[in-house]
Chains A and B, each alone.
Chain A
């Protein structure tokens, strides 16, 4: 799609180029062997499911992967989240909000904002899981 269409698109509800690129070629999609923690969230709005897997070393997220059942926005938000979270400390990663995901992608159609919320929640859930396991250990 031509670039000058992007403004109209964002108003009309189309996807940004970055969202589509992430959707088409997600680098962080799929299974992770022996993750240190897993976040599992579901979306009450439309019934989607997101799993976030992390590996943590020295309090830093060294690897992150996702598995998502959902739309273009959900998959590109998952990928954006992984890009944003990788290499961050747990404290930094915890602060990643859906707004950060939106800004990273450029925009999402208004009706799809909830899909980016799911991304932010997925990571928080994974960090929570990590801390719980860590306490027990």
Chain B
């Protein structure tokens, strides 16, 4: 059975060209970038070239890019690093209810360390109101952190407007751009960004690599103390092969891919919405990630939909309570004001530039049948057979 991978929000396939670019850095060019001999310098060259590429892609300087082990580390570094370094100024952090768990849990932990956190509401499509950000700022506020493109519902925040608010109030602004990087405009100057989290495995690069953009002059405390790597902000021997792969992935990504994915995404939306009692979760059009679709199918449960799709070779994901370790529905879907029952029936389909129309067609061919089969099994769905009064009225 051929795999149809529609879970690119979770991770993506490494581009074969990325793997090719990484290969020499495992054997031939295996050096430690801190060594002063020629093997070390060979690695150092590659490392700095990669830094340059990534800096350029977001309008930053090369010495503002700190390589990390991925999005989770960059987000933890941003939130905790700013909190610790700016404690003397205040103890208040502003974030949103739709952040990735690594931001939310870092913030929750900081609350146990004497920090106060405001979790901003979002509207029905998942947008944060920049005016609300401004209102939430107090004399104690040291950091605003807002996710750029949401991993579940695809909503792209107006970070430019939020950035302006923060710049005006002189508050450090961080955005988690793991999902949006290379998929929509990300420019640290135009969008007044002080800190930006990006990672590699969402853009066809290797896993376990990411970066934090730290604007020159931003006061931040490192998480990793050690040999002083990465401008003394993140010690540890650099993952040179991974970083080279990351930069290669950035180089390959282009605006033609955005157009191509947008077209495919809209084709997917158009056809899946033909299924009765189906709703879109999140925003639409240009203000939605070009590779993200998220639906709620009434009366059915998402893990079950996913398992039937999986049996047909199709990978997807859901925000249903049943599929989470905590048995809580997705905090992002709940923040939209949905009820738990609709969150139950949610399905995220996330495409990549490798997704073909044939693959979407296959999905469209099997999904209506799956939904209808599950609805026939569901006591919540209106039954089409006239039955004894006993079986209704739950």
Residues of A within 8 A of B (CB): 15, 20, 23-24, 26, 29-35, 37-38, 40, 42, 45-51, 53, 66-75, 111
Contact = CB atoms under 8 A, between A and B. Distances in A.
Contact of A49 (B304, B308, B380): B380
Nearest to B343: A47
15 contacts: A29-B376, A30-B377, A31-B387, A45-B327, A46-B344, A49-B394, A51-B379, A51-B394, A53-B391, A67-B377, A67-B378, A67-B379, A70-B322, A71-B323, A111-B327
Sorting the interface of chain B by its residue count into under 10, 10 to 19, 20 to 34 or 35 or more gives 20 to 34
B304 A31 contact: no
A35 B383 CA distance: 15
B379 A68 contact: yes
Given A69-B299, A74-B301, 6 more contacts: A24-B308, A31-B391, A34-B388, A35-B391, A48-B322, A69-B301
Contacts of B308: 24
B122 interface: no
Q: Is the interface of A mostly helix, strand, loop or mixed?
A: mixed
Contact of B307 (A20, A45, A51): A20
A38 B220 CA distance: 63
B196 interface: no
Contacts of A111: 325, 327
A76 to B, nearest CB: 10
Contact of A46 (B322, B377, B385, B388): B322
Contact of B344 (A40, A42, A47): A47
Given A49-B394, A51-B391, A23 B327 contact: no
A71 B380 contact: no
A71 B376 contact: no
B6 interface: no
A43 to B, nearest CB: 9
Given A46-B327, A111-B325, A32 B391 contact: yes
Interface in B310-347: 311, 320-323, 325, 327, 340-341, 344
> Which of A20, A37, A40, A46: most chain B CB closer than 10 A?
A46
B321 A24 contact: no
A59 to B, nearest CB: 20
Nearest to B325: A111
A20 B377 CA distance: 16
Given A31-B385, A47-B344, A48-B301, A69 B380 contact: yes
B63 to A, nearest CB: 43
A35 B390 contact: yes
Nearest to B388: A34
A71 B304 contact: yes
A30 B322 contact: no
Contacts of B73: none
B153 interface: no
Contact of A71 (B299, B320, B387): B320
B341 A70 contact: no
A128 to B, nearest CB: 14
Contacts of B247: none
A3 B341 CA distance: 35
B300 interface: yes
> Which of B299, B304, B320, B341: most chain A CB closer than 10 A?
B304
Contacts of A47: 321, 340-341, 344
The 8 A-B pairs with the shortest beta carbon distances in the complex, nearest first, are: A71-B322, A67-B379, A46-B321, A71-B303, A51-B379, A29-B377, A46-B327, A69-B378
Contacts of A34: 387-388
Nearest to A66: B377
Contacts of A45: 327
Given A24-B311, A32-B391, A69 B322 contact: no
Nearest to B299: A69
A72 B307 contact: yes
A70 B301 contact: yes
Nearest to B384: A31
A34 B391 CA distance: 8
Contact of B378 (A35, A38, A68): A68
A75 B377 contact: yes
Given A35-B388, A46-B321, A69-B301, A26 B377 contact: yes
A38 B390 contact: yes
B287 to A, nearest CB: 31
Contacts of A68: 377-379
Nearest to A133: B390
Nearest to B320: A71
Given A24-B311, A69-B300, A71-B304, A49 B320 contact: no
